[in-house]
Amino acid sequence: MLTRRLRRLVVSPVAAWVAPWLLLLPSGAQQLQGRGVFVNPPWRVELISYDTTTWDAQPDYYFTVEVPADAGAPLGGLTIQQTRGSDWSFPYYVDRTSAFVGRPRAEGRKVPLTVDFHQQQRRFEVRFDPPVPPGTTVTTVLKPWSNPDQADTYMFEVTAWPAGPNPTPSPLGYATLRIYNRFF
């Protein structure tokens, strides 16, 4: 069991600096030197949109994250930041941002959240209240007024935050959204 756990830790992105100290903590510990951490962090994000042409009205952008059963901490929140794309000004209905357990078109119960959007940085800060427990798949839905007016590949950097004091972020990578020209 310890060998399997150690192997899993060595593969995770935070293992290089976390693994030696985690072996000294009790199983399922959520803190390391006073900071909230994932023992086995979520490792990817999926982005789906069913409306992918320029100017599509009120599309939904579904960001899905699987929180491993052995994550060691619940998912406290996500940071979603646009890092690439021709249009840097298309607006969102921030107050309509939502989350649910499950995947798009297989929605489960709603997950309460609070959200802040920073237009200059094109960054959403989503906090789940209560945090999403380990072993859960959660989808966060962003709702722009319309798709961008420029066809391009839009990229969003996504970071997971564990619940707990002084959380240590876990990068999930980049979610890609291709927007096609309506009149091509």
Chunked into runs of 10 residues, the chain (184 residues) has average pLDDT values of: 40 39 37 72 95 96 97 96 95 97 96 96 97 97 96 97 91 97 79
The pTM of this model reads: 0.81
Check residue 9 and give its pLDDT.
Answer: 40
Check residue 77 and give its pLDDT.
Answer: 97
What total of structural domains would you count in the chain? 1
Does residue 120 belong to any structural domain of this protein?
Answer: yes
Does residue 122 belong to any structural domain of this protein?
Answer: yes
Does residue 82 belong to any structural domain of this protein?
Answer: yes
Does residue 22 belong to any structural domain of this protein?
Answer: no
**Between helices 2-11 and 15-22, what is the axis angle to 10°?**
160
Residue 178: phi and psi, rounded to 5, are: -95, 125
Check residue 27 and give its pLDDT.
Answer: 36
Does residue 36 belong to any structural domain of this protein?
Answer: no
Report the CATH number that the domain containing residue 150 is assigned in CATH: 2.60.40.1290
Check residue 183 and give its pLDDT.
Answer: 76
Provide the domain limits for residue 128: 41-179
User: What's the CA dihedral at 48, 112, 137, 73 to 10 degrees?
Assistant: 130
Does residue 77 belong to any structural domain of this protein?
Answer: yes
- The HSE-up count of residue 77 (CA atoms within 13 Å, CB side) is 18
Check residue 14 and give its pLDDT.
Answer: 40
Check residue 34 and give its pLDDT.
Answer: 58
The residue written with tokens 């798949």 in the block is: 137
Quick check: 57 and 183 in contact, CB under 8 A?
no
